[in-house]
Amino acid sequence: MAVERTLSIIKPDATERNLTGKINSYIEAAGLRIIAQKRIQLTLNQAEAFYAVHKERSFFGELVDFMISGPVVVQILEGENAIATYREVMGATNPANATDGTIRKDFAIDVQNNSVHGSDAPETAALETAFFFSGIEITG
**97 scored as a contact of ligand ADP (CB under 6 A):** no
Separation between Cα atoms, residue 20 and residue 11, nearest integer Å: 9
Which of these ranges, 28-36, 40-48, 69-77, 111-119, lies near ligand ADP under the rule CB under 6 A?
A: 111-119
115 makes contact with ligand ADP (CB under 6 A): no
Q: Is the dihedral of CA 136, 49, 120, 110 positive or negative?
A: positive
Give me the amino acid identity at 28: E
Strand 3-10's sheet: what is its strand order? Answer: 33-40, 72-80, 3-10, 116-118
Catalytic, 54? Answer no
Candidate list 120, 124, 126, 127; residue touching ligand ADP; CB under 6 A? 120
Active site residue: 117, 119, 125, 128, which one? 117
Q: Which range of residues in 13-21, 55-63, 77-85, 126-134 is near ligand ADP by CB under 6 A?
A: 55-63
Q: Is 69 in the site for ligand ADP (CB under 6 A)?
A: no
- Binding residues for ligand ADP restricted to 14-43, rule: CB under 6 A: none
DSSP H helices, 7-93, are 12-16, 20-29, 44-50, 60-67, 82-90
Reduce the DSSP state of residue 40 to 3 states and report it.
strand
User: Can you give the binding site for ligand ADP, defined by CB under 6 A?
Assistant: 54, 59, 62-63, 93, 111-112, 114, 117, 120
Active-site residue numbers?
117
